[in-house]
Each structure stands twice: as structure tokens, then as C-alpha cells.
A = this chain, B = another copy of it.
Amino acid sequence: MNANLAPSLPHVVIIGGGFGGLAAARGLRNAPVRVTLIDRRNHHLFQPLLYQVATAALSAPDIAAPIRQILRRQKNCTVLLDEAVSVDTETNTLQLSESTLNFDTLVVAAGATNHWFGKSDWAPNAPGLKSLEDALDIRRRVLSAYESAEKAGTEEARRQWLTFVVIGAGPTGVEMAGALSEIARTTLARNFRNFNPLDARVILVEGASRVLGAFPESLSASALRQLQSIGVEVRLNTLVSSLDESGVVLGEERIDARTIVWAAGVRAEPLVATVGATTDRMGRATVNEHCQVPAHPNIFVIGDAAHFEQGGSPLPGVAPVALQQGAHVAHVIRNQLANRPTRPFVYFDKGSMATIGRSRAVAMTGVGTLWPRTEPTFKFTGTLAWLAWLFVHVLVLVDFRNRAAVVAEWAWAWVTYQRSARVILDHGPRR
């Protein structure tokens, strides 16, 4: 593809320009290989802040950067906007939407997609939050619900529009619920004439016995208290038995609600099923200690697409895992070309954090913590945790190219309680 490189160099194809794919590409920048990175979107997405786009705090471009701009100086790398459909492990060929691509080595960093666990008919009424389009869709629904409430003919109809249900209390669900509560409590104050935005209800539904199940119990308890302090109704040990466009049924109880957000699960992209590995319940490919497919060692799977066991427990689907695995895979490829061995991959867990609206959060870290997690050395809650969250994300974002604007947005939003992206974009057919 790249006219400047000798075609005799080994061809490494990377699927996905997320944290894992980019780390792999960057790790190969001085290696004697041709790299082709395929993504069906033109942008790398800073997924940890996606909920802020969904809740109108940031605009879509604030958390997205063009992949080819990020890699523009890496001469041995070509970026293609295309869809990777399937892998042929016999011929070492990748099927794209309209063409095929031969590879010597393949790195599958295709990420995860929303998953309704057999209830795909729930999808239209309970959208998930994995892409910018998802986030803009949820933003449109949330803002439109308040508009419809202003026009509602009956109190009952208004109550339906002012009820928001978030399903799943992992970090995404907790952050969504916190932000939705904030919108009602501060952002929209005095904006309406026929109701008070404070009348809005935000309900967070979780099947397990606590929120933020991946965190220590004391932090889960703190997160629960913080959510309740800003008015979020948390329903633990509660399963959704059905849902439709006007509400959810929790066990036996029906809750009328026009806006439902799905944060209860994801699965690997379907392409992952074609790499010749065994897959787990979430569609992830089981890989060995170098993130290789055991039957096809020239195929690596990393990040949310991979099932990698460490200490008997699979690694979580978070950005640091993908980043570290991407770097590791690049290391393995470079070592293979130089006939050097590589030590097995080990995930180094720096910690976790989740925000709960304005000035509230939980966070933990422990020096030198490996996976699976033991009790973390440092735990924070409340404002201190929120400042830690802010500090880490500001640092990462400022590194993430020109995101000084995001910091300006945040500072302004914090001072004024406002959200700068309160725009309903019409996604209907256009003239």
C-alpha cells in the first residue's frame, strides 16, 4: 500500500486505532516492518470521557483525534479507513469491506461493542455507550426528553419524560447516573416554565449487590452514598425483566421512563470469532502469555478483544490493559525479527477511578500492584478522589494533542454549572 516502503519487508496489519492498536503501531515505529492500521472510523476515541459527550459536557471532537494525524510522522505506517470483516487464517488474509489484505503478522485490537445478552430487541430503547455516535444519540434523547416534558399534555406524560433509567452500575453507569442527576439539579435550573428540572428522577439499576463491583467494598459503599446524596435512586440486586420505549420492568415493578441507557455489558467485535481461537462468554479470544492465538502465533489479540488470564482471573476491559498489551506485542514482533526471546506479558495495575458528578468520585491505587487485585494501598473518596480523577485526565488529555480546550471547557463548566454541548443534532433524513 505504501509506495515508499520496500514490499519485501514483513507486513504487520493492525485492526483498530484504539488504545491497544495505537500502542502497537507506535511500538513498531523503528522496526523493519511495513505497518497498516485499519479502522472503520477516522478517529481515535478517548473512551473514558465518552459519558461526558453523552451528557452534553463536551463536544464530540473534544475527545477524538484523527488516527492518521497521530501517526503522521511514522513513515512505516499506513492508515486505512475501512471495515475489517473477517480473518482467513489459512491464507493469512484479512477481508475488508471491498478488498482483501495479506499479512505476515496480524494484531487484532478491534475492541468491544454494546451487548444486550440475547435481548437485542432492547437495543433501540436502551442504547449503549461505546462510540461517539452512541454518545450523540444519548445526548439527543436526554435533551429531547426535557423538551418533550415542557410540551407534555398531562402530568403522567411529563413524569415519563422526566424519568431516566441507567442499567448497570459499573464505572460507565455510575458516571452516567451522576451526570444525569447533575443536569437536572444544576444545568437546567430556570430553563423551563411548566416544571422544575429538580422533579426529574434518575434511577440506577444493578443486578449485583453493590455498585462498582470491580472496586473494594468500602469504595462501593462510598460511591453508593455519594450517588444517593445527589438524588440518584440506586436499585441493587435488581434485574431488568423487560423494557420498551416507555419504561422498564424491574422484577415485578414497572417504571415508566422514556429515556433508558444501557451500561450493563459489552462483548468483543464479531470479527474476533474468525481468528481461530476459543472464545469466552463475551466473545473474547483466549490468548497465550504473549497475547497470541495458540493455533496461529502470527495472530495477536489484545485489549477488549482478548481473554488474557493472569493469576487465574481474566484482565478487565480498561485502557491501561490495552495500552500495555499493545506495547508488549510490538516488543514481541521486534524481538522475533531479531531472534530474541521475550518475557511473558504481565499487567501492571496502576489503579482505578470513577466520578460521580460534580466534585465527587472514588479512586484507588497501590504501588506495584499486579492483577488480580489485592486490597489497594491508597483509597480516596469525595472531593479528593475527584481532584485525583481530574488531575489524571487533564494530564492524559493534554498529552492527547490539543485538548487544552477541554480543560477550558471543564474549568468554565465547573465555575458556571453549565454544559457547553447542549445541542440536539437532528439525525433524521436530510434534504
Chain A interface residues toward B at CB < 8 A:
1-4, 41-43, 56, 59-62, 64-66, 68-69, 72-73, 78-82, 114, 123, 127, 131-134, 136-137, 143-144, 147, 150-151, 189-194, 401-402, 404-405, 408-409, 412-413, 416, 418, 420-427, 430-431
Query: Is A123 within 8 A of B431, CB to CB?
Result: yes
Query: Is B64 within 8 A of A423, CB to CB?
Result: yes
- Chain B residue contacts of A133, Cβ below 8 A: 425-426, 430
- Chain B residue contacts of A425, Cβ below 8 A: 60, 132-133, 136
Q: A66 touches which one: B2, B190, B191 (CB < 8 A)?
A: B191
Query: Is B72 within 8 A of A42, CB to CB?
Result: no
Quote the shortest CB–CB distance from A83 to chain B (angstroms).
Answer: 11
Query: Is A81 within 8 A of B193, CB to CB?
Result: no
Copies in the complex: 2
Quote the shortest CB–CB distance from A163 to chain B (angstroms).
Answer: 19
Query: Is A73 within 8 A of B190, CB to CB?
Result: yes
Query: Is B147 within 8 A of A423, CB to CB?
Result: no
- Chain B residue contacts of A192, Cβ below 8 A: 68
Quote the shortest CB–CB distance from A182 to chain B (angstroms).
Answer: 15
Quote the shortest CB–CB distance from A159 to chain B (angstroms).
Answer: 16
- Chain B residue contacts of A418, Cβ below 8 A: 69, 401-402
Q: A426 touches which one: B41, B73, B114, B144 (CB < 8 A)?
A: B41
Known: A402-B418, A404-B408, A430-B137. A424 touches B42 (CB 8 A): yes
Query: Is B41 within 8 A of A424, CB to CB?
Result: yes
- Chain B residue contacts of A78, Cβ below 8 A: 150, 193-194
Across the A-B interface, the 10 shortest Cβ-Cβ residue pairs: A61-B421, A59-B59, A81-B147, A59-B61, A72-B190, A66-B422, A2-B193, A42-B424, A68-B191, A78-B193
Query: Is B59 within 8 A of A62, CB to CB?
Result: yes
Quote the shortest CB–CB distance from A29 to chain B (angstroms).
Answer: 14
Known: A2-B194, A123-B431, A151-B82. A402 touches B420 (CB 8 A): yes
Bound-state CA distance A143–B69 (Å) is: 12
Known: A43-B424, A78-B194, A132-B423. 10 other contacts (CB 8 A): A41-B424, A41-B426, A59-B59, A72-B189, A79-B150, A81-B150, A133-B425, A402-B420, A404-B412, A405-B405
Closest to A64 in B: B423
